[in-house]
Structure 1
């Protein structure tokens, strides 16, 4: 079974990317970009806005698709994850919902964190890492 998911690649004016620390499986304890499963009938953009709000307290404007990855899940599920560029439009950052923590990271800091499998390779391959 394929499950549609979305993620948000949010970079601030200082060139740092927003990461959340997963509070629940899959990936509990690992750092990743905000995101999750789409709800039935939900558009990708609406899903990105909802997931970012739930996990970070931030309102975002959704930009272009950065890339798509397939990740294995439990019970033979495949998560089809479409990651979009997004910019903060308001709100106060605070971890919520599935996020145990959040932080803004430079590219150097990203390389030293325990990240979700394949995240660094995907962001690098798509050319969306902060300089």
Structure 2
């Protein structure tokens, strides 16, 4: 039996703004299927995290943005009933403004919306997403 432990996977997300609203996607796959989140996905070998965020944004929504600022790097760790870690993602979140493309649900997304910041607490979102969005808004407006 190997003593090697699985490594965390690197994920990226894009917090995109247009006319004061943030772009959200409803996840079509686990983890967190059916919850609202920022567009994003996994880092591929050989690409930078910023390139990955732009690629995932385009694949999931058809939108392009100037992902100019790093919002945060955070861990998403999922545990089973016994408390054992079963999945670990290191999420790198960028923010910026919409450049072009009309948002539509693509790839592993089931729905899409441009949401008002005031509505964030009413949405069933993935853990930490509303905090990322508020943090990103502060970064872009100060």
Q: What's the TM-score once normalised by structure 1's chain length?
A: 0.89
Q: C-alpha offsets along residues 12-46 of structure 1, whole Å, 9 cap, x if unaligned?
A: 12x11110000110110000000011011111121
Counterpart among 7, 11, 36 of residue 5 in structure 1: 11
1:91 aligns with 2:101: yes
Q: Which runs of 5+ in 1 are unaligned?
A: none
Q: Which residue of 1 aligns with 2:30?
A: 25
Count residues with an aligned counterpart. 129
Q: Which residue of 2 aligns with 1:70?
A: 75
Are 1:66 and 1:128, in contact at CA under 8 Å, matched by a contact in 2? no
Q: Distance in 1 between matches of 2:10 and 2:52?
A: 10
Q: Cα distance, 1:73 vs. partner? A: 4.1
Q: Which residue of 2 aligns with 1:35?
A: 40
Q: Distance in 1 between matches of 2:69 and 2:131?
A: 19
1:119 aligns with 2:119: no
Are 2:64 and 2:101, in contact at CA under 8 Å, matched by a contact in 1? yes
1:103 aligns with 2:113: yes
Q: Which has the higher Rg, Structure 1 or Structure 2? A: 2
RMSD: 1.9
